[in-house]
Amino acid sequence: MQDIDERLVHAMRRVAVPETPPVDDLVSGGIARGERMRRRRVWAVAGGGLVTALATAVALVAVPEVMGRPEVAPGADDVSVDLRDESSGEDTGDDSLDEAVIVEVVLDLLPAGDVSEVRSGVGSEGQVWFEFVYDDGAGASVIQGSVSAGESEAFSCPVIVNGGECEMDVLADGTKLMRMAGPYYPQADREPERLLWSVHVSRPDGLRINLGEMNAPTEKGSDISRPEPPLTLDQLTAIVTSDRWRQP
Amino acid sequence: MARNVEGFRDFAAARGGSLFRTAWWLTGDWHLAEDLVQETLGKVYRRWRGPDGIDNPAGYARTVLVRTYVSHRRRRSSSEVPTGELPDRSVHDDDAALRLALLEALARLSAKDRAVLVLRYWEDRSLEETATELGMSTGAVKSRSFHALKRLRVVLGDGVEDLSVLD
């Protein structure tokens, strides 16, 4: 008797899709999508719910969104995000961000904990966003983020009116770093215990990474799960400045 | 810069059918496969600069295809609840029944496991090639392949024996 893998090969060969693929439609549809993708090459930080306009250099910062943790055993897949296209070697710094790899890198860099409700996507401007719920055992936290590529971005701490804090730094390699911690809502009297901590980097090579966390399992509408978000600002910083986001 | 659209069109026309068949094994759905291939071709087109712009464009397209599939499946993962068991169905009838049984069994695998099996057993990629295309280690591919086949055997149950008569 054949092994199951041999039987699988033969079975797949025999019962593959029975109809002729619509190649003309695939080609025209692919070109149309490719043209749309090209037009979206204005890289902007944006994202889902938590993300707020970093680009406006005001108030809140984009907090990334996440998604499902790979079932791979930790360390099994040692992947890095590279601005260079992995197959062609072509410099794809403008538009080659790989959503799956980005999410996997972020999840790999997290301290031990449970991850659930992972979501991710590519925004209208080409930025990869992700969101998930992370629980280190002390309370669930929504973590969100985004990664985009393009040109190095100039940003500065916004005016903060809700009691939060913000600090800017420029690292030795020229990477601009902004770290923020404080209440989620800009209004000082609105759920001041609902916290959003976030870090943002803009590298000289154009890669921009935003990562944020809250002390609640959802951005809004949920009870606070812990006094503070699970990761310190230094831990968040370590993730966004990791060498896993390697240079092309 | 000129895009060499005609060059891309020739490439896409030559590879579209193959990509679609792989996408169909990945998604198990005609329309999802169409969507996946168009998304893939769009991504390839986005960086198409001519015949020399991408080394091994066929391999690159396949990589984009499987990674896009895994990525999309993850986004939908929170709403997908595997039922665990297949419906009580005989796979002895004909190709259509076998096809359905295989697709249902594959649908019970994680996105990466399914992608590993499709690359290994449909695309006939080596462990190393599969690892490269999915961005994981060869050890991880081997492990995933082993466990996915084991899972497939369990899900297909007695029906898996029928696969042996197909050669």
Residue B84 pLDDT class (50, 70, 90 cuts):
very low
pLDDT on residue A135: 93
The answer to which of A19-23, A212-216, B37-41 has the lowest mean pLDDT is: A19-23
Report the alpha-carbon distance of residue A53 to residue A60 in Å, rounded.
7
Phi, psi for residue B40 in degrees, rounded to 5: -65, -50
Select from A10, A31, A116 the Cβ nearest to the Cβ of B45. Answer: A31
Query: A108 pLDDT exceeds 70?
Result: yes
**Cβ–Cβ of B40/A117 closer than 8 Å?**
no
Q: How far apart are the C-alpha atoms of B108 and B152, rounded to whole Å?
A: 8
Q: Residue A50 pLDDT > 50, yes or no?
A: no
Domain residue spans of chain B: 1-80, 89-158
Cα B23 → chain centroid: 5
Instruction: Give the pLDDT confidence score for residue A11 in this predicted structure.
Output: 87
Give mean pLDDT, residues A44-53: 35
Q: Which residues of A touch B163 (CB under 8 A)?
A: 4, 7-8, 10-11
Q: What are phi and psi of A131, to 5 degrees?
A: -155, 140
As a three-state string, the secondary structure of A170-191 is ECCCCCEEEEEEEECCCCCCCC
- Averaged pLDDT score across all residues of chain A: 75
Instruction: Find, in chain B, the residue whose alpha carbon is nearest to that of A3.
Output: B164
Residue A120 pLDDT: 86
Q: From CA A81, how far away is CA A102, in angstroms rounded?
A: 6
Mean pLDDT of A158-187: 89
Q: Is the pLDDT of residue A91 over 80?
A: no
Model confidence at B147: pLDDT above 90: yes
Q: Is the pLDDT of residue B1 over 60?
A: no
CA separation, residue B117 to residues A6, A78, A187, B8 (Å): 12, 20, 52, 29
- Partner-chain residue, chosen from A10, A99, A117, that has the shortest CB–CB distance to B78: A117
User: Taking chain A, what is the end-to-end CA distance rounded to the nearest angstrom?
Assistant: 49
Averaged over A103-131, what is the pLDDT? 85
- Given a cut of 80, whether residue A46 has pLDDT beyond it is no
Q: How far apart are CA B126 and CA A47, in angstroms?
A: 38
Instruction: Label residue B157 by pLDDT band (50, 70, 90).
Output: confident
Express each pLDDT in B98-142 by its tens digit: 888 899 999 999 999 999 999 999 999 999 999 999 988 999 999
What is the percent of chain B with per-residue pLDDT over 70, rounded to a whole number? 77
**Chain B residue at shortest CA distance from A87:** B60
User: Token pair for residue B105?
Assistant: 């069994």
**Secondary structure of residue B49 in the 3-state scheme:** coil
> How many angstroms separate the CA atoms of A56 and A162, rounded?
18
Q: How far apart (Å, rounded) are the C-alpha atoms in residues A72 and B136? A: 9
Identify which has the larger pLDDT, B12 or A36.
B12
Q: Examine the pLDDT at A180 and tell me if it is beyond 80.
A: yes
Q: CA-CA distance, A215 to A143, in Å (whole number)?
A: 9
CA angle A71-A76-A80, nearest 5°? Answer: 100
CA A206 to centroid of chain Cα atoms: 15
Amino acid at B146: F
Look at the domain B89-158 and name its fold. Arc Repressor Mutant, subunit A (1.10.10)
pLDDT exceeds 60 at position B90: no
Question: Looking at per-residue confidence, does A240 or B81 come out higher?
Answer: A240
pLDDT-derived band at A76, boundaries 50, 70, 90:
very low
- Contact between A186 and A162 (Cβ < 8 Å): yes
Q: Which of A169, A164, A170 is nearest to A212 (CA)?
A: A164
pLDDT value at residue A124: 66
pLDDT of residue A38: 67
Q: What is the mean pLDDT of residues A60-69?
A: 30
B75 → chain A, closest CA residue: A119
- What is this model's ipTM? 0.83
Q: How confident is the model at residue B76 (pLDDT cuts 50, 70, 90)?
A: low
Contact A12 B122 (CB under 8 A): yes
Greater confidence (B92 vs B16) lies with: B16
What is chain B's mean pLDDT, rounded?
81
The confidence score (pLDDT) of residue B116 equals: 96
Per-residue pLDDT band for A94 (boundaries 50, 70, 90) equals very low
Interface contacts (A, B; CB < 8 Å): 210
- CB spacing of B19 vs A26 below 8 angstroms: yes
Residue A48 pLDDT more than 80?
no
> What confidence category does residue B162 fall into, taking pLDDT thresholds of 50, 70 and 90?
low
Categorize the per-residue pLDDT at A122 as very low, low, confident or very high, splitting at 50, 70 and 90. confident
In sequence order, what are the residues at sequence separation of 6 or more whose Cβ sits closer than 8 angstroms to the Cβ of residue A245?
Answer: A80, A81, A105, A147, A203, A207, A209
Percent of chain A with pLDDT over 70: 73
Q: Which CATH architecture has domain B1-80?
A: Orthogonal Bundle (1.10)
Q: Coil, strand or helix: which one is B94?
A: coil
Identity of the highest mean pLDDT range in A29-38, B89-98, B124-133: B124-133
Nearest CA in chain B to A71: B110
pLDDT at position B50: 62
